[in-house]
Protein backbone atom coordinates (compact mmCIF):
# COMPACT_ATOMS: atom_id res chain seq x y z
CA UNK A 1 0.00 0.00 0.00
CA UNK A 2 1.50 3.34 -1.02
CA UNK A 3 1.90 5.80 1.82
CA UNK A 4 0.95 9.43 1.10
CA UNK A 5 1.44 12.43 3.33
CA UNK A 6 -1.42 14.89 3.10
CA UNK A 7 -0.62 18.28 4.60
CA UNK A 8 -3.75 20.22 5.47
CA UNK A 9 -5.59 16.89 5.43
CA UNK A 10 -8.22 17.98 7.96
CA UNK A 11 -9.12 21.02 5.83
CA UNK A 12 -11.92 21.26 3.29
CA UNK A 13 -10.28 19.98 0.09
CA UNK A 14 -7.70 17.96 2.04
CA UNK A 15 -10.28 15.88 3.91
CA UNK A 16 -12.22 15.03 0.74
CA UNK A 17 -8.97 14.04 -0.94
CA UNK A 18 -8.04 11.79 2.00
CA UNK A 19 -11.33 9.93 1.50
CA UNK A 20 -10.64 9.40 -2.21
CA UNK A 21 -7.05 8.34 -1.48
CA UNK A 22 -8.16 5.75 1.06
CA UNK A 23 -10.90 4.53 -1.31
CA UNK A 24 -8.22 4.16 -4.00
CA UNK A 25 -6.04 1.99 -1.75
CA UNK A 26 -3.50 4.53 -0.48
CA UNK A 27 -2.39 4.77 3.13
CA UNK A 28 -2.94 8.34 4.29
CA UNK A 29 -0.94 10.25 6.89
CA UNK A 30 -2.24 13.69 7.74
CA UNK A 31 -0.13 16.61 8.90
CA UNK A 32 -2.11 19.69 9.96
CA UNK A 33 -1.72 22.45 12.55
CA UNK A 34 -5.51 22.62 13.04
CA UNK A 35 -5.39 26.41 12.59
CA UNK A 36 -8.42 26.30 10.31
CA UNK A 37 -9.90 22.86 10.91
CA UNK A 38 -10.84 20.52 13.73
CA UNK A 39 -9.62 17.11 14.79
CA UNK A 40 -13.19 15.72 14.51
CA UNK A 41 -12.71 15.69 10.75
CA UNK A 42 -10.73 12.47 11.29
CA UNK A 43 -13.91 10.86 12.66
CA UNK A 44 -15.79 11.97 9.55
CA UNK A 45 -13.13 10.35 7.35
CA UNK A 46 -13.37 7.17 9.44
CA UNK A 47 -17.17 7.07 9.16
CA UNK A 48 -16.91 7.19 5.38
CA UNK A 49 -13.91 4.92 4.80
CA UNK A 50 -13.67 2.80 7.94
CA UNK A 51 -10.11 4.06 8.43
CA UNK A 52 -8.89 6.82 10.73
CA UNK A 53 -5.70 8.22 9.21
CA UNK A 54 -2.56 8.64 11.29
CA UNK A 55 -2.33 12.29 12.33
CA UNK A 56 0.50 14.68 13.26
CA UNK A 57 -0.18 18.20 14.57
CA UNK A 58 2.79 20.06 13.14
CA UNK A 59 3.56 23.63 12.11
CA UNK A 60 5.10 23.05 8.70
CA UNK A 61 6.47 26.60 8.63
CA UNK A 62 8.88 25.37 11.31
CA UNK A 63 11.77 23.64 9.52
CA UNK A 64 12.94 21.56 12.46
CA UNK A 65 9.46 20.29 13.33
CA UNK A 66 8.85 19.42 9.69
CA UNK A 67 12.06 17.44 9.29
CA UNK A 68 11.57 15.68 12.63
CA UNK A 69 8.04 14.65 11.64
CA UNK A 70 9.01 13.35 8.19
CA UNK A 71 11.93 11.50 9.80
CA UNK A 72 9.53 9.41 11.87
CA UNK A 73 7.54 8.22 8.85
CA UNK A 74 9.01 5.44 6.70
CA UNK A 75 8.42 4.49 3.08
CA UNK A 76 6.62 7.61 1.93
CA UNK A 77 5.59 7.58 -1.75
CA UNK A 78 4.50 11.18 -2.10
CA UNK A 79 3.20 14.36 -0.57
CA UNK A 80 0.03 16.27 -1.36
CA UNK A 81 0.54 19.74 0.02
CA UNK A 82 -2.73 21.54 0.83
CA UNK A 83 -1.73 23.25 4.08
CA UNK A 84 -1.92 27.02 3.58
CA UNK A 85 -3.79 30.10 4.70
CA UNK A 86 -6.45 30.98 2.15
CA UNK A 87 -8.49 34.05 3.13
CA UNK A 88 -7.95 36.55 0.35
CA UNK A 89 -9.12 39.60 2.36
CA UNK A 90 -7.07 38.71 5.44
CA UNK A 91 -3.98 38.32 3.27
CA UNK A 92 -4.31 41.97 2.22
CA UNK A 93 -4.29 43.18 5.84
CA UNK A 94 -1.77 40.59 7.10
CA UNK A 95 0.54 39.89 4.15
CA UNK A 96 3.49 38.66 6.18
CA UNK A 97 1.33 36.07 7.94
CA UNK A 98 0.59 34.65 4.47
CA UNK A 99 4.09 34.86 3.03
CA UNK A 100 5.61 33.40 6.18
CA UNK A 101 3.26 30.45 6.46
CA UNK A 102 2.50 29.57 2.85
CA UNK A 103 6.03 29.95 1.52
CA UNK A 104 8.00 28.59 4.48
CA UNK A 105 5.89 25.45 4.69
CA UNK A 106 6.46 24.72 1.00
CA UNK A 107 10.20 25.42 1.26
CA UNK A 108 10.48 23.13 4.30
CA UNK A 109 8.69 20.33 2.52
CA UNK A 110 10.83 20.68 -0.61
CA UNK A 111 14.01 20.82 1.44
CA UNK A 112 12.96 17.70 3.34
CA UNK A 113 12.14 15.94 0.06
CA UNK A 114 15.56 16.80 -1.37
CA UNK A 115 17.18 14.81 1.39
CA UNK A 116 14.82 11.85 1.23
CA UNK A 117 13.90 9.11 -1.19
CA UNK A 118 10.27 10.12 -1.83
CA UNK A 119 10.10 12.40 -4.84
CA UNK A 120 6.47 13.03 -5.77
CA UNK A 121 4.71 16.27 -4.86
CA UNK A 122 1.22 17.52 -5.67
CA UNK A 123 0.68 21.21 -4.96
CA UNK A 124 -2.61 23.09 -4.45
CA UNK A 125 -2.53 26.06 -6.75
CA UNK A 126 -5.37 28.27 -7.85
CA UNK A 127 -6.97 29.85 -10.91
CA UNK A 128 -6.28 33.10 -9.10
CA UNK A 129 -2.87 33.01 -10.88
CA UNK A 130 -4.65 34.03 -14.13
CA UNK A 131 -6.29 37.14 -12.63
CA UNK A 132 -8.88 38.57 -15.03
CA UNK A 133 -7.77 36.80 -18.17
CA UNK A 134 -8.36 38.58 -21.47
CA UNK A 135 -9.27 35.36 -23.25
CA UNK A 136 -11.75 32.84 -21.84
CA UNK A 137 -11.72 30.00 -21.06
CA UNK A 138 -8.22 29.98 -19.59
CA UNK A 139 -5.77 27.29 -20.62
CA UNK A 140 -2.64 26.28 -18.72
CA UNK A 141 -0.76 28.51 -21.18
CA UNK A 142 -2.79 31.64 -20.40
CA UNK A 143 -0.59 34.44 -19.06
CA UNK A 144 0.03 34.66 -15.34
CA UNK A 145 -0.70 38.22 -14.31
CA UNK A 146 0.28 40.13 -11.19
CA UNK A 147 -1.70 38.77 -8.27
CA UNK A 148 -4.45 40.89 -6.72
CA UNK A 149 -3.68 39.76 -3.18
CA UNK A 150 -0.76 38.44 -1.12
CA UNK A 151 -2.67 35.14 -0.97
CA UNK A 152 -2.73 34.93 -4.77
CA UNK A 153 0.90 35.95 -4.86
CA UNK A 154 1.85 33.08 -2.54
CA UNK A 155 0.34 30.68 -5.11
CA UNK A 156 2.31 32.27 -7.96
CA UNK A 157 5.57 32.35 -5.99
CA UNK A 158 5.00 28.77 -4.79
CA UNK A 159 4.67 27.55 -8.37
CA UNK A 160 7.95 29.31 -9.19
CA UNK A 161 9.69 27.88 -6.13
CA UNK A 162 8.59 24.38 -7.13
CA UNK A 163 9.66 24.89 -10.76
CA UNK A 164 13.13 26.13 -9.75
CA UNK A 165 13.62 23.38 -7.19
CA UNK A 166 12.57 20.64 -9.60
CA UNK A 167 14.96 21.98 -12.21
CA UNK A 168 17.88 21.75 -9.83
CA UNK A 169 17.03 18.47 -8.11
CA UNK A 170 17.40 15.10 -9.74
CA UNK A 171 14.34 12.83 -9.54
CA UNK A 172 12.09 15.35 -7.83
CA UNK A 173 8.72 15.57 -9.64
CA UNK A 174 5.72 17.78 -9.03
CA UNK A 175 2.30 18.65 -10.36
CA UNK A 176 0.52 21.90 -9.53
CA UNK A 177 -3.25 21.72 -9.77
CA UNK A 178 -4.88 25.08 -10.42
CA UNK A 179 -8.24 24.78 -8.73
CA UNK A 180 -11.22 26.78 -9.87
CA UNK A 181 -14.00 27.26 -7.27
CA UNK A 182 -14.50 24.12 -5.17
CA UNK A 183 -17.95 23.75 -3.61
CA UNK A 184 -20.15 21.05 -2.09
CA UNK A 185 -19.49 18.24 0.34
CA UNK A 186 -19.08 14.48 0.47
CA UNK A 187 -22.35 12.71 -0.37
CA UNK A 188 -22.43 11.16 3.12
CA UNK A 189 -22.50 14.68 4.65
CA UNK A 190 -19.90 13.44 7.16
CA UNK A 191 -17.34 15.99 5.94
CA UNK A 192 -17.79 19.37 4.25
CA UNK A 193 -16.72 22.99 4.28
CA UNK A 194 -16.63 24.51 7.74
CA UNK A 195 -15.62 28.16 7.63
CA UNK A 196 -14.71 29.72 10.96
CA UNK A 197 -16.81 32.86 11.59
CA UNK A 198 -18.60 34.68 8.78
CA UNK A 199 -17.98 32.90 5.47
CA UNK A 200 -16.14 34.73 2.69
CA UNK A 201 -17.15 32.33 -0.02
CA UNK A 202 -20.45 32.20 -1.84
CA UNK A 203 -21.71 28.68 -1.18
CA UNK A 204 -21.14 28.53 2.61
CA UNK A 205 -22.81 31.95 2.77
CA UNK A 206 -25.78 30.58 0.85
CA UNK A 207 -26.15 27.47 3.02
CA UNK A 208 -25.75 29.45 6.25
CA UNK A 209 -28.39 31.92 5.04
CA UNK A 210 -30.71 29.02 4.22
CA UNK A 211 -30.02 27.59 7.69
CA UNK A 212 -30.95 30.91 9.30
CA UNK A 213 -27.46 31.60 10.66
CA UNK A 214 -27.00 34.59 8.31
CA UNK A 215 -29.89 37.00 7.73
CA UNK A 216 -29.30 37.76 4.10
CA UNK A 217 -26.95 36.85 1.28
CA UNK A 218 -25.38 39.85 -0.43
CA UNK A 219 -24.72 39.46 -4.13
CA UNK A 220 -21.67 41.54 -4.88
CA UNK A 221 -22.53 43.48 -8.02
CA UNK A 222 -24.99 43.02 -10.91
CA UNK A 223 -23.34 45.50 -13.24
CA UNK A 224 -20.66 43.20 -14.65
CA UNK A 225 -20.38 42.62 -18.36
CA UNK A 226 -22.04 39.19 -18.15
CA UNK A 227 -25.45 37.97 -19.37
CA UNK A 228 -27.23 38.63 -16.03
CA UNK A 229 -24.74 41.21 -14.71
CA UNK A 230 -23.38 39.03 -11.87
CA UNK A 231 -19.86 37.59 -11.79
CA UNK A 232 -19.06 34.22 -13.33
CA UNK A 233 -16.93 31.42 -11.85
CA UNK A 234 -16.25 27.76 -12.60
CA UNK A 235 -17.70 25.84 -9.62
CA UNK A 236 -16.37 22.30 -9.24
CA UNK A 237 -17.72 19.67 -6.85
CA UNK A 238 -15.09 19.07 -4.19
CA UNK A 239 -15.31 15.30 -4.73
CA UNK A 240 -14.48 15.73 -8.42
CA UNK A 241 -11.60 17.99 -7.40
CA UNK A 242 -10.44 15.42 -4.84
CA UNK A 243 -10.44 12.70 -7.50
CA UNK A 244 -8.21 14.83 -9.73
CA UNK A 245 -5.55 14.49 -7.02
CA UNK A 246 -5.65 10.71 -7.33
CA UNK A 247 -5.15 10.98 -11.10
CA UNK A 248 -2.26 13.42 -10.62
CA UNK A 249 -0.63 11.30 -7.94
CA UNK A 250 -0.97 8.11 -9.99
CA UNK A 251 0.58 9.92 -12.95
CA UNK A 252 3.69 10.69 -10.86
CA UNK A 253 3.86 7.38 -9.04
CA UNK A 254 3.57 5.46 -12.35
CA UNK A 255 6.07 7.76 -14.10
CA UNK A 256 3.51 8.86 -16.69
CA UNK A 257 4.44 12.53 -16.39
CA UNK A 258 5.76 14.25 -19.54
CA UNK A 259 8.09 16.61 -17.70
CA UNK A 260 9.19 16.75 -14.08
CA UNK A 261 6.96 19.74 -13.40
CA UNK A 262 3.46 19.90 -14.82
CA UNK A 263 0.47 22.19 -14.31
CA UNK A 264 -3.20 21.36 -14.80
CA UNK A 265 -6.44 23.32 -14.60
CA UNK A 266 -9.01 21.60 -12.44
CA UNK A 267 -12.47 22.96 -13.13
CA UNK A 268 -15.62 21.90 -14.98
CA UNK A 269 -15.06 23.96 -18.10
CA UNK A 270 -18.37 25.76 -17.49
CA UNK A 271 -18.99 29.17 -15.98
CA UNK A 272 -22.00 30.03 -13.82
CA UNK A 273 -23.06 33.44 -12.56
CA UNK A 274 -23.79 34.20 -8.92
CA UNK A 275 -27.50 34.47 -9.77
CA UNK A 276 -27.41 31.11 -11.54
CA UNK A 277 -25.89 29.58 -8.41
CA UNK A 278 -28.60 31.14 -6.24
CA UNK A 279 -31.38 30.02 -8.60
CA UNK A 280 -29.98 26.49 -8.83
CA UNK A 281 -29.74 26.28 -5.04
CA UNK A 282 -33.39 27.34 -4.72
CA UNK A 283 -34.42 24.81 -7.37
CA UNK A 284 -32.62 21.77 -5.92
CA UNK A 285 -33.46 22.49 -2.28
CA UNK A 286 -36.90 24.12 -2.63
CA UNK A 287 -35.72 26.87 -0.27
CA UNK A 288 -36.25 30.57 -1.05
CA UNK A 289 -33.09 32.50 -0.30
CA UNK A 290 -33.19 35.96 1.22
CA UNK A 291 -30.74 38.00 -0.85
CA UNK A 292 -30.06 41.51 -2.08
CA UNK A 293 -27.78 43.01 -4.66
CA UNK A 294 -25.06 45.24 -3.23
CA UNK A 295 -21.93 46.90 -4.62
CA UNK A 296 -19.12 44.89 -6.16
CA UNK A 297 -16.62 43.36 -3.74
CA UNK A 298 -13.19 44.99 -4.12
CA UNK A 299 -10.66 42.68 -5.77
CA UNK A 300 -13.25 40.43 -7.47
CA UNK A 301 -12.72 39.61 -11.11
CA UNK A 302 -15.63 39.66 -13.54
CA UNK A 303 -15.49 36.18 -14.97
CA UNK A 304 -13.35 33.09 -15.34
CA UNK A 305 -13.77 29.47 -16.28
CA UNK A 306 -11.38 26.72 -17.23
CA UNK A 307 -10.39 25.14 -20.46
CA UNK A 308 -10.21 21.56 -19.18
CA UNK A 309 -9.20 19.82 -22.42
CA UNK A 310 -5.55 19.40 -21.41
CA UNK A 311 -6.34 17.92 -17.98
CA UNK A 312 -9.10 15.71 -19.36
CA UNK A 313 -6.72 14.26 -21.94
CA UNK A 314 -3.59 14.00 -19.83
CA UNK A 315 -4.89 13.42 -16.32
CA UNK A 316 -7.92 11.49 -17.52
CA UNK A 317 -9.73 13.63 -15.01
CA UNK A 318 -13.29 14.58 -15.91
CA UNK A 319 -15.92 16.13 -13.67
CA UNK A 320 -18.97 14.00 -13.04
CA UNK A 321 -21.14 16.12 -10.82
CA UNK A 322 -23.35 19.07 -11.76
CA UNK A 323 -23.77 22.44 -10.07
CA UNK A 324 -27.10 21.20 -8.67
CA UNK A 325 -25.45 18.05 -7.23
CA UNK A 326 -22.78 20.19 -5.58
CA UNK A 327 -25.24 22.69 -4.09
CA UNK A 328 -27.51 19.96 -2.77
CA UNK A 329 -24.55 18.19 -1.14
CA UNK A 330 -23.46 21.49 0.46
CA UNK A 331 -26.97 21.94 1.86
CA UNK A 332 -27.14 18.33 3.13
CA UNK A 333 -23.84 18.86 4.92
CA UNK A 334 -25.00 22.15 6.47
CA UNK A 335 -28.27 20.52 7.61
CA UNK A 336 -26.50 17.55 9.16
CA UNK A 337 -23.91 19.73 10.88
CA UNK A 338 -26.58 22.05 12.32
CA UNK A 339 -29.05 19.25 13.12
CA UNK A 340 -31.67 20.70 10.82
CA UNK A 341 -34.36 18.22 9.78
N1 LIG B 1 -20.08 36.34 -3.70
C2 LIG B 1 -21.25 37.01 -3.40
N3 LIG B 1 -21.65 37.03 -2.09
C4 LIG B 1 -20.94 36.44 -1.09
C5 LIG B 1 -19.75 35.74 -1.43
C6 LIG B 1 -19.34 35.71 -2.75
O7 LIG B 1 -21.90 37.57 -4.28
O8 LIG B 1 -21.35 36.52 0.06
C9 LIG B 1 -19.64 36.29 -5.11
C10 LIG B 1 -18.27 36.88 -5.33
O11 LIG B 1 -18.37 38.28 -5.51
C12 LIG B 1 -17.80 36.13 -6.57
C13 LIG B 1 -18.45 34.76 -6.44
O14 LIG B 1 -19.52 34.93 -5.50
O15 LIG B 1 -18.30 36.75 -7.71
C16 LIG B 1 -17.51 33.71 -5.89
O17 LIG B 1 -16.91 34.22 -4.71
P18 LIG B 1 -16.09 33.27 -3.70
O19 LIG B 1 -15.64 34.14 -2.57
O20 LIG B 1 -16.87 32.06 -3.37
O21 LIG B 1 -14.86 32.79 -4.57
P22 LIG B 1 -13.74 33.67 -5.30
O23 LIG B 1 -13.92 33.38 -6.75
O24 LIG B 1 -13.72 35.06 -4.88
O25 LIG B 1 -12.41 33.05 -4.68
C26 LIG B 1 -12.20 31.68 -4.64
C27 LIG B 1 -11.40 31.32 -3.39
C28 LIG B 1 -10.02 31.86 -3.44
C29 LIG B 1 -9.37 31.51 -4.73
C30 LIG B 1 -10.22 31.95 -5.87
C31 LIG B 1 -9.64 31.53 -7.17
O32 LIG B 1 -12.03 31.86 -2.25
O33 LIG B 1 -9.30 31.27 -2.40
O34 LIG B 1 -11.50 31.34 -5.76
O35 LIG B 1 -9.21 30.24 -7.06
F36 LIG B 1 -8.19 32.16 -4.84
Is the same domain home to 331 and 229?
yes
- Whether 47 maps to a domain, the answer reads yes
Which of 182, 22, 164, 29 has the alpha carbon at shortest distance from 106?
Answer: 164
Residue 299 pLDDT: 86
Candidate from 199, 228, 297 with most ligand 1 atoms within 8 A of CB, to mutate = 297
Q: 97: pLDDT confidence band, cut at 50, 70 and 90?
A: very high
pLDDT, tens only, 205-245: 999 999 999 999 999 999 999 999 999 999 999 999 999 99
How does strand 272-273 pair with strand 232-233?
antiparallel
pLDDT one-digit tens code per residue, 24-46: 999 999 999 999 999 999 999 99
* CATH classification at residue 279: 3.90.25.10
Least reliable range by pLDDT among 71-75, 174-178, 306-310, 316-320: 316-320
Q: Span 51-55, mean pLDDT?
A: 98
- With contact defined as beta carbons under 8 Å apart, do 108 and 60 qualify? yes
Domain check: are 318 and 256 in the same one?
Answer: no
Q: How confident is the prediction for the chain on average, in pLDDT?
A: 97
Residue to mutate, 82, 145, 200, 201, ligand 1, most ligand atoms under 8 Å from C-beta: 201
Section 140-158 average pLDDT: 96
* Averaged pLDDT for residues 75-96: 95
Q: Is residue 189 part of a domain?
A: no
222 in contact with ligand 1, CB cutoff 6 A: no
In the prediction, which pLDDT does 39 show? 98
Within a domain: residue 194? no
Would residue 127 count as lying in a domain? Answer: yes
Indicate whether 318 pLDDT > 90: no
Instruction: DSSP letter for 99, please.
Output: I
pLDDT over 90 (residue 184): yes
Residue 245 included in any domain: yes
Report the share of the chain in percent with pLDDT over 90.
94
Give just the sign of the alpha carbon dihedral 298, 147, 271, 84.
negative
- In terms of domains, do 106 and 59 share one? yes
Confidence band (pLDDT; 50, 70, 90) for 102?
A: very high
CB 172 within 8 A of CB 260: yes
Q: Could you give the 3-state DSSP secondary structure of residue 126?
A: strand
| Any domain includes 133 | yes
Q: 3-class SS at 76?
A: strand
The answer to whether residue 39 is domain-embedded is yes
Q: What is the per-residue pLDDT for 118?
A: 86
Within this chain, do residues 91 and 227 fall inside the same structural domain, yes or no?
A: no
Collapsing DSSP to helix, strand or coil, 272 comes out as: strand
Which atom in ligand 1 lies closest to the alpha carbon of residue 219? Answer: 7
Residue 82 sits in the same domain as residue 153? yes
155 pocket-lining for ligand 1 (C-beta < 6 Å): no
Mean pLDDT of 159-174: 96
Number of domains in the chain: 2
Burial of 150 (0-12, 13-18, 19+ CB in 10 A): buried
Cα–ligand 1 centroid distance for 114 (angstroms): 36
The H or E element containing residue 72 is: helix 63-72
- DSSP class of residue 102? I
Domain span at residue 90 reads 3-183+237-266
**CATH number of residue 109's parent domain:** 3.40.50.720
Query: Per-residue pLDDT for 317 more than 90?
Result: no
Q: What is the mean pLDDT of residues 150-171?
A: 96
Q: Name the residues annotated as catalytic.
A: 151
296 lines ligand 1 (CB under 6 A): no
Ligand 1 near 297 CB (within 6 A)? yes
Say if residue 170 is in the same domain as residue 299.
no
Q: What distance in angstroms lies between residue 259's CA and the mean position of ligand 1's atoms?
A: 32
Q: Is 334 inside a domain boundary?
A: yes
Kindly report the protein residue whose alpha carbon is nearest to atom 12 of ligand 1.
Answer: 231
Amino acid sequence: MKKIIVTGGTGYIGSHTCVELINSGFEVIIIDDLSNSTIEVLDGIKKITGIKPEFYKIDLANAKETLRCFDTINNISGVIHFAAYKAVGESVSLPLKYYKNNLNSLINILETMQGKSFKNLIFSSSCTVYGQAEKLPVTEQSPIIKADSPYGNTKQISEEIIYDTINSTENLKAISLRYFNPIGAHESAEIGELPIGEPNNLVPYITQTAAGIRKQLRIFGNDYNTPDGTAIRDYIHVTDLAKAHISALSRLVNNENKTNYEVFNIGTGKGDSVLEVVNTFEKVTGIKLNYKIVNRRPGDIEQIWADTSYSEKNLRSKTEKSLGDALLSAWNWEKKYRNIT
